[in-house]
Amino acid sequence: MGNFLSSSTPLPGSPDPASKSKLQILLRANHRQNSVLVDDNGHNYLPHHLGSVYLLGAPPARLFQVYDVAITNTQEWKDPGLQSVEISPDWWKDNIGDKVSAYQYFHFFGDEVVHCDYDWKAVVKDYLLKDNCFLLKSLIEGECHPLIHLGYAFELDSFEVAVEALTLAAVCVNFIQPVFSVEMERYQEPEEAYLPAMDVLKAIGQDQRFNGLFEKPDQENLKLLLEEFLELMLEHYRDWDWTKTSLEGLFDIAVHLYAGTHSSTDFAPKFNLSMLQMVTAAHATRICSTMLPSNTLPLLIRELFFAMCLHYITQLRPAFHDDVFEKYDTEGRGWEEVYKSAVNGEGSKDAHFVQVVRALRDAEQVYGAKGEFVYGLAIVIRVAVTVAGCAEVASGGKHDRDLLTNMESTWEICIDDAQDWVRFTVRLETRGKI
């Protein structure tokens, strides 16, 4: 694997103390008003967007501006009416995987936090570890959104985001969790495993038995893969020696999946959203590993790489090009330029762009230097230097470029259980760009 981590310049951005209370207000507004799901198969990633900009150092006014953009990708909660079911501690798993029950799970986990005197971290640990870690093994369902959401809950210290993460973990259970659970039970120790994780992915990429399974890169390929070609994937997965794999190593692999599957001569690559989520999932795994019992680390590592194998195959196993990291010329640009785009420029409008910038920046801070290349800098510069580039990252998300032009936004937000209301009015004077 090529060396692509360096810290040649100080990394900018740290949370603005003045923004913390505003962040919590906006997260609470989203929590009370909007569903964790969008059109059943999509997910409310407003906390990912807003949290990333906050963690990069956005001032309060910027958070309100970003909220205006992010809220357009959400849907309000709907009363399930006659479809309503009761969720209780005694039969909380009865409706697992039922997205119609999202509203009930949302209130159930919220009530559990209240009953635990708002010790939401205790509730999270309790339910993730219940029944042989059932929900912990569900975090990679829904394109890893439950895992990513949980990482933000810990980083932002938000019980609202934690309740949403547990809800997503419960209702997104589908094809992956049952298969992964069986694999965990069947192979509790490596059996004649000898390959590093990156070699396993490259072996999958070279295995011609996968050729022609799918017509195009698509998450919809996942169902067919698990139903008809699971043993073929597991044949490679079981060659992996997870006892010699670290979270740092898996993060490096996630970066290679995201950016190393492009040639260095590809001037404006279209980054794959599914691969991008492996980067943010790897970041979230590191965060969760510091907040959960240490004996869950092997499970988290195996779970993350299981997701990587699945996503790599569903995206048609693109070839790896290490020269992306070795040859790309940043032309003297550094993190400061990226930071300006992500916090003060067009990039702040793009949820996925700010997430990957923040994950790559934090990785450089945590894992240190590995050679002459600034970790992820070439990746994010490719999408930061132009507005069009930022749109590439989101792969079809909503991007209203005029939304932040000459507008006044007003929210009435309940900030506590006493029904105290605060009105915020933010006038944006920007014209075209922010």
Closest by CA to 168, choosing from 150, 155, 191, 193, is 150
Instruction: Please give the Cα distance from 64 to 26 (Å, whole number).
Output: 8
CB atoms under 10 Å from CB of 138, counted, come to 28
Instruction: Please give the Cα distance from 132 to 263 (Å, whole number).
Output: 43
Relative orientation angle of helices 351-367 and 273-291, to the nearest 10 degrees: 50
Which tokens sit at 102? 């999202």
Q: Kindly state the average pLDDT of the residues 219-223.
A: 91
- The pLDDT-based confidence of 392 (bands split at 50, 70, 90) is very low
User: By percentage, how much of the chain surpasses pLDDT 90?
Assistant: 60
Task: Please give the pLDDT value at position 178.
Answer: 95
Please spell the DSSP secondary structure of 328-340, one letter per residue: ---TT--HHHHHI
Instruction: Please give the Cα distance from 305 to 311 (Å, whole number).
Output: 10
Task: Please give the pLDDT value at position 189.
Answer: 73
Which tokens sit at 425? 């009015």
- The pLDDT-based confidence of 47 (bands split at 50, 70, 90) is very high
Q: Which H or E element spans position 179?
A: helix 176-186
The domains of the chain are located at: 17-177, 187-394
Termini Cα distance of the chain: 38
Closest by CA to 145, choosing from 164, 126, 121, 160, is 164
Q: What is the pTM of this model?
A: 0.86
Closest by CA to 385, choosing from 418, 419, 345, is 345
Please spell the DSSP secondary structure of 297-311, one letter per residue: HHHHHHHHHHHHHHH
Task: Please give the pLDDT value at position 132.
Answer: 95
- The pLDDT-based confidence of 409 (bands split at 50, 70, 90) is very low
Task: Please give the pLDDT value at position 121.
Answer: 98
Which tokens sit at 316? 């048609």
| Predicted confidence (pLDDT) per residue in 331-385, tens digit | 777 777 788 888 888 889 889 889 988 998 888 889 875 544 444 555 555 544 4
